[in-house]
Amino acid sequence: MTNFPNKSTDTVWHRATVTRERREQKNTHKSVVLWFTGLSGSGKSTLAHAVEEQLYQIGLNTFVLDGDNVRHGLCCDLGFSDKDRKENIRRIGETAKLLLEAGVISLTAFISPFKAERAIAKSLMPPGDFIEIYCFCPLAVCEQRDVKGLYKKARLGEIKDFTGISSPYEAPDDPDLRLDTHELTLEQSVQQVIALLHSRNILA
């Protein structure tokens, strides 16, 4: 269900005969949500897509929900105020939940700066099905990378509510996996994620 009030009062939940368990059986693997969080430039998207590529190569059903990509469609009506950021994460959490039920391994790459919203997203999933992966990279290194030129614009005041500069990032207290992406190679980070999936019996 959801943690938000449902304004559609005349709807009834329909229980499908094709369940998540049956879909997982058909897919021959379990579904899970890999939630990558961290500052802009910390390597979330690059890592999520690299992990997906490896999983895809061994025949698993996967999908990456990328922060920039969803703002071209599902969340194109949202800005970057705290309110809009919260709604953005709410929508992604619900989408990831649908993919979980579809038997897919979804990988979300979002800054998702607020602990409360990440907690809400996690609460949508059954225990153990939400794996929080913290891509840690010092702000100074992220700024040095400035892959999209956003930090420069934020420092000049051209972008408001920019995480790490004019808006806070609340780091996870106890992530399932922390990756120091400024010290690890991409391949090392990918292998740590894969190892975690093996340890959780997501991968055989």
How far apart CA 21 and CA 189 sit, in angstroms, is 30
Which residues have CB under 8 Å from 11's CB, separation 6+?
A: none
H or E element in which residue 135 lies: strand 130-136
For residue 94, how many other CB atoms are within 10 A of its CB?
A: 14
Contact of 36 with 176, CB cutoff 8 Å:
no
Could you say which of 31, 42, 112, 189 is catalytic? Answer: 112
Task: Confirm whether 112 is a catalytic residue.
Answer: yes
For residue 134, how many other CB atoms are within 10 A of its CB?
A: 21
Active site residues: 112
